[in-house]
Amino acid sequence: MTAGPAAGAGTIRLGELTVNRLAFGAMRVTGPGIRGMPKDRAAMLHLLARAFELGHTFFDTADSYGPDVSENLIAEALHPYPAELVIGTKGGFVRPNGSWAPDGRPEHLRRALEGSLKRLRLERIDLYQLHTPDPKVPFAESFGALAELQRAGKIRHLGLSSVSVRQLEQARRIAPVVSVQNRYSVDDRGSDDVLAACESAGIAFIPWYPLGAGRALSAKTVRRIAGERGATPSQVALAWLLARSPAIVPIPGTGSVAHLEENARSAQLALAPADMAALERL
């Protein structure tokens, strides 16, 4: 297993695959607004390689990041992939005029998967996640299409994103689920019930916006604890997630190597019980 600060968070299993719990979210290696190529493509390729060097052995991406840009850059930076690297991608969003529109039609998901396979230079995706339920398409039809693709050998493991407990249970009646990716952070705990369901079922819970889109970092309690621990607010927010549950796999993303290295060191920050209690009261 790759050494590095991120490895200090311990490991978790995605099916039979083992990854370090502090992962890397590759949304922000694209251009502004998660659209187009980054201003400095070479810098993003270096950042992706550095993320793996720091011990991030799970990378989260999606076809809608760019669109297509994040997946292409990951392949350019890291292919042929190290044996311990697991790449999870997602399908189910399209980006008309830069907006985010759900598209869970089976025919779209089949095309999306084929595109991800090509861009990532893979014959099978280790983890493919339904990016969001589409209110215009029955949930079982969307997830059922992914289950068919799994049976066809194009997906190793299936995951979900932005789902309720009911939708998780519905999906598990169709095919095994190894991960759920919902919005969650120290100041946004609306998915506590989904996290509890994942813990009970042995499913990885992957918080997106693990830093609350930056809001968590301005909380007085977070800043106070950071000062007392000689850490940064982002390190406290990530350390809280890692301590909150062994099922949690944070995926902080950044376009800055300095921030990447700062985030990776959060795996080595141990919060005291009093810190955890104070953060629970946010």
Catalytic residue numbers read: 65
Return the CA Rg of the chain.
Answer: 18
Cα–Cα distance, 185 to 37 (Å, whole number)? 28
Tokens of 10: 């311990």
Using CB atoms within 10 A of its CB, is residue 105 exposed (0-12), middle (13-18) or buried (19+)?
middle
Exposure on the CB side of residue 72, measured as CA atoms within 13 A: 13
**Rounded Cα distance, 120 and 167, in Å:** 28
Q: State the SS3 of 140-204.
A: HHHHHHHHHHHHCCCEEEEEEECCCHHHHHHHHCCCCCCEEEEECECCECCCHHHHHHHHHHCCE
Amino acid letter for position 242: L
58 by DSSP, 3-state: which?
strand
**DSSP structural state of residue 272:** P
Residue 250 contacts residue 207 (beta carbons within 8 Å): yes
- 219-228, Cβ contacts within 8 angstroms, sequence gap of 24 or more: 219/186, 219/187, 219/282, 221/278, 221/279, 221/281, 221/282, 222/186, 222/279, 222/282, 225/271, 225/275, 225/278, 225/279
- The candidate with the shortest Cα–Cα distance to 43, out of 17, 77, 82, 10, is 77
